[in-house]
Amino acid sequence: QVQLKETGPGLVQPTQTLSITCTVSGFSLTSYYMQWVRQTPGKGLEWMGFIRSGGSTEYNSEFKSRLSISRDTSKNQVFLKMNSLKTEDTGVYYCARAWNYSSSPFDYWGQGVMVTVSS
Amino acid sequence: DIVLTQSPALAVSLGQRATISCRASQSVSISRYNLMHWYQQKPGQQPKLLIYRASNLASGIPARFSGSGSGTDFTLTINPVQADDIATYYCQQSRESPPTFGGGTKLELK
């Protein structure tokens, strides 16, 4: 069955870089768009960006200058890297699957990983 | 960005109908497609897709959930409400990038 699972550091210091891995099973990354969505106390659910089935990416302009999404299809993994972290980046980070077009809903979500930005 | 507005909370009795609204700052419909989706989130869990494109039930979702609307005004209806439905409900538009979410409506027991 379809499964997504995020793994990440939990605690990150301000100004440092956040790296999260989403490992998927039950489907192919080359057939779906993979999204990153975060949920913060200040802004609720926010779409961060996606990587298309073909490997190209699109980012929310809110994060564009400090966000990178990539993947390794051989390992069924999608990666999020965001630099210059601030305390307001504290929240839960989710990967989610979407069908193979940009206006599709997010039909499966990972359990999320809680990230705290603090010194 | 398209702003989606939801009431923060709705109190309902078990067995009754719950109607949750979402209003968009501009139309999220293109021709026959209404690009609004609904999710349920319980505490400590990830969001779960309930309804896609305004009125289509996602796989495995009970028929007591339904959605309607077009343009800027959309509704999620739960009828009858069961105890397991107590959660926060979010609308999300995919008409324009970036996809945006409403602030959520917390369904509470009366």
Output the pLDDT for position A87.
97
Residues 33-52 of A with CB under 8 A from B: 44-47
A29-46: per-residue pLDDT in tens? Answer: 999 999 999 999 999 999
The radius of gyration computed from the CA coordinates of chain B, to the nearest angstrom, equals: 13
Inform me whether the pLDDT recorded for B43 exceeds 90. Answer: yes
Inform me whether the pLDDT recorded for A81 exceeds 90. Answer: yes
Inform me whether the pLDDT recorded for B64 exceeds 90. Answer: yes
Which region, left, alpha or beta, applies to residue A111 given φ > 0 means left and ψ of -120 to 50 means alpha? alpha
Inform me whether the pLDDT recorded for B8 exceeds 90. Answer: yes
Predicted confidence band of residue A100 (pLDDT cuts 50, 70, 90): confident
Mean pLDDT of chain A: 96
- Test A102 with B94 for CB contact under 8 angstroms: yes
- Test A45 with B45 for CB contact under 8 angstroms: no
Query: Mean pLDDT across the stretch B73-84?
Result: 98
- Test A104 with B94 for CB contact under 8 angstroms: yes
Predicted confidence band of residue A65 (pLDDT cuts 50, 70, 90): confident
Chain centroid to CA B95? 16
B2: closest CA of chain A, how far (Å) = 12
Mean pLDDT of chain B: 97
User: DSSP label at A71?
Assistant: E
- Test A105 with B47 for CB contact under 8 angstroms: no
Output the pLDDT for position A32.
97
Q: How far apart are CA A100 and CA B69, in angstroms?
A: 24
- Test B46 with A109 for CB contact under 8 angstroms: yes
- Test A103 with B49 for CB contact under 8 angstroms: no
Q: How far apart are CA B97 and CA B93, in angstroms?
A: 9
* Chain B residues interacting with chain A (CB cutoff of 8 angstroms): 33, 35, 37, 39, 45-49, 52-53, 58-59, 90, 92, 94-95, 97-101, 103-104
A86-97: per-residue pLDDT in tens? Answer: 999 999 999 999
Output the pLDDT for position A42.
92
Tokens of B4: 């989606």
Mutate to test the interface with A, among B97, B100, B105 (most CBs of A within 10 A): B97
Inform me whether the pLDDT recorded for A64 exceeds 80. Answer: no
